[in-house]
Structure 1
Amino acid sequence: MLATATRIGLRSVASMLAISALAFAIIASMPSDPVDIALRAWNLPATDETVAAMRSQWGLDQPVPARYGLWLSQFVAGDWGRSFRTGEPVIAEFFHRLPLSLAIGISGLALAALLAVPLGFAAALKPNGMADKASRLLSIGVQAVPSFWLGLLLIWLLGVQARLIRPFSGDASSWLLPIFLVALHALGTLSRVYRRDLVEFTYKPHFRTALAKGLSRRQALWRHGHRGAAYALLSAIRSEAGWAIGSTAALEILFGLPGISQFLVQSIAARDHMVLQAYVMVIACWMLLMNACLELAMRRLDPISA
């Protein structure tokens, strides 16, 4: 297990370096000069001295490879630079907003995984039954309906009509709906993946052997089919983790939550390179960390694959 963890860690570090270099090159080639945008936003005179001083202060007067090397060394040391737009340290802005974004994404995925097991099991226990039809309808419905549209509908129903929640108040109710929407979208897919593996298990000889020994269908599925279905469920969560990031970004803006995705949207128009680069690295770290944790868990469930 230690060798596996080391191999995954080295692969993650190599991926982070490749992602950082590619993202830095793309962001550096974006049209519009952030200095020009800052001068207009701050109502500063566009003199040659002012422009030269700002470009020197932000390191924009150096070649891209030199800027990347300087940025990477500072980033690893914990200096993520300063925001062109706010003038505040980027790392302070992110650490202030990151817990909210992580809470929504991780809580939504965890809730979906928790609910996918009983829903998928009930669907596999009675194919074409009510639970099976409900999980199928949920899987198709959430794929067809955008999360922000469903969020608007829930705000109108629960906030305006029923007055059960206060979505823009900043209290716990403003967190619950985004978490619920992330979980709802992932639940349909995860439950169908779990159900599919259990149904496939029923065609295998050892399932019929378990029935011949006197186990009920429910007992045979849970005792002998759950482990394989859980393996498939973890594999599906890896792909859903990427969707949760994009969904969280849309929901933060919809519900007015001060997460890192909302900060990113505000920084894109200003061509705030430091913020954009830090966001890419944080998201890449999130994806690689989730992938590493889930891969280790999957290897624990299936030691032969290790």
Structure 2
Amino acid sequence: MIAHLLQASLRQATSLLAVSALAFCVVAQMPADPVEIAMRAWNLPPDPDTIARLRMEWGLDRPLVLRWLSWLGGFVTGDWGLSFRTGAPVRDEFLSRLPLSLGLGAAALALAVILAIPLGFAAALRPNGWADRFGRGLVVVVQAVPSFWLGLVLIWLLAAELRLIRPFSGGPVILAMAAVLIALPPMAMMARVLRRELLASTTQPWFRTAIAKGLSQSAALRRHSARAGAYALLAALRSEIGWMLGTTATLEVLFGLPGVSQFVLQSVPARDYGVLLAYVMTVACLMALANLVITLILQLLDPRAR
């Protein structure tokens, strides 16, 4: 298990290194010069000496490879540089906003798993029953209708028409709405995956033996198919985490929540390289960590891997 952990960690570290290099190249090749954008925002005359001095202070006059190595070393050691737009350390800006984004994503993730388990179990227990039909219809709806569109409909209905909420207040109701909208697509997908895996287990000889010994269908699913269902659920969750991160960013902007995504959106027009790179690497690190944890749990659940 330790050897597998080291191998998985090495693979994730290599992936993060490749992501950092690719992200740095893409961000560095974005059109427009951040120095010129900053000078226009500060109402400074386009003086060549001032532009050259700012480019030197911000490290934009060095070769691309040296800039990447310098930035990568600073990122690993906790020095994420200064924001071109605000002048504050990028790390401090992220740490002040990251708790809201992580809390929202974690709440949506927990909600998706908690709701997917009973829905998938009920659909497997009675195929073509109400739970199965509801899960099938929910998958179609969430795949066809984007979460941000549902958010716009809720804002129009609850805020503009019924006047029950303040749409951009960031209160508990807004956070709960955002968490539910983030959780719906992965919940529906994981429920269908769980249902499929549980139904597949009912055709196995060991399941028929459990039924022959007097266990009910429900008890046999709980006792003998739970491990296979959990394995399939975690495998599905690993593929859904990326979509959840993207949906979280979208709904933060839609509901005006002061999370990391809102700050990044404001930094795009200013070509704030440090902020954009920090966001890409933060998301990549979260994905790598989630992949590593889920991989290890899957190894523990699979006796063949052990």
Shorter-chain TM-score: what band? over 0.9
Letter in 1 for 2:300: R
Write the mapping of 1:106-185 to structure 2, written as runs, cut at 5 A. Answer: 106-185=106-185
Tell me the distance in 1 between the aligned counterparts of 2:51 and 2:160: 50
Match for residue 212 of structure 1? 212
2:253 aligns with: 253
SS at match of 2:225: helix
Residue 303 of structure 1 aligns to a residue whose secondary structure is coil
In the alignment, structure 1 residue 7 sits paired with structure 2 residue 13: no
| Shift in Å, 1:171 | 2.1
Distance 1:9 1:53, change over 3 A: same
For 1:155, the aligned partner's letter is I
Equivalent pairs counted in the alignment come to 306
Identity of aligned residues (%): 57
Structure 1 letter corresponding to 2:273: H
| CA distance in 2: counterparts of 1:283 and 1:9, whole angstroms | 17
Measure the CA separation in 1 of the matches of 2:43 and 2:121: 62
Distance 1:97 1:224 in 2: 44
The one-letter amino acid of 1:180's match is: V
Query: What 5-or-longer segments of structure 1 have no aligned partner?
Result: none
Letter in 2 for 1:153: V
Partner residue in 1 for 2:90 = 90
- CA distance in structure 2 between the partners assigned to 1:250 and 1:182 by the alignment: 10
Please tell me the root mean square deviation across aligned C-alpha atoms, in Å: 1.3
Q: Which residue of 2 aligns with 1:50?
A: 50
Is 1:32 matched up with 2:67?
no
Structure 2: unaligned runs, 5 residues or longer: none
Counterpart for residue 242 of structure 1:
242
CA distance in 2, matches of 1:305, 1:70: 40
Mapped contact 1:197–1:228 kept (Cα < 8 A): yes
Displacement of 1:236 after TM fit? 0.6
Counterpart residue type for residue 179 of structure 1: A
Task: Out of 93-102 and 10-19, give the one that drifted further.
Answer: 10-19
Alignment partner, residue 23 of structure 1: 23
The residue identity in structure 2 corresponding to 1:167 is P
CA apart distance, 1:165: 3.6
* Secondary structure, counterpart of 2:9 in structure 1: helix
CA distance, structure 2, for counterparts of residue 242 and residue 23 of structure 1? 17
Query: Deviation string for 1:229-249 (max 9, x for gaps)?
Result: 110100111111000111011
CA distance in 1, matches of 2:268, 2:40: 15
Structure 2 residue identity aligned to 1:157: L
Q: Which amino acid aligns with 2:63?
A: P
Task: Tell me, yes or no, if the aligned pair for 1:80 and 1:90 is still in contact at 8 Å.
Answer: yes
1:162, distance to aligned residue in structure 2 (A): 4.3
SS of the residue 2:92 aligns to: helix
Write the mapping of 1:191-202 to structure 2, written as runs, cut at 5 A: 191-202=191-202
- The answer to whether the 8 A contact 2:170-2:255 is kept is no
For residues 292 and 50 of structure 2, the distance between their equivalents in structure 1, rounded to whole angstroms, comes to: 47
Shift of 1:263: 1.1
TM-score (norm 1): 0.97
Can you list the C-alpha shifts for 1:16-51, whole angstroms capped at 9, x where unaligned?
Answer: 111111111111111111111111111111111110
When normalised by structure 2's length, the TM-score is 0.97
1:229-280 deviation digits (Å, cap 9, x = unpaired)? 1101001111110001110111011100011111111111111111111111
Cα distance in 1 between the residues matched to 2:249 and 2:187: 19
Matched, 1:233 2:233: yes
Structure 2 distance, partners of 1:155, 1:23, is 34
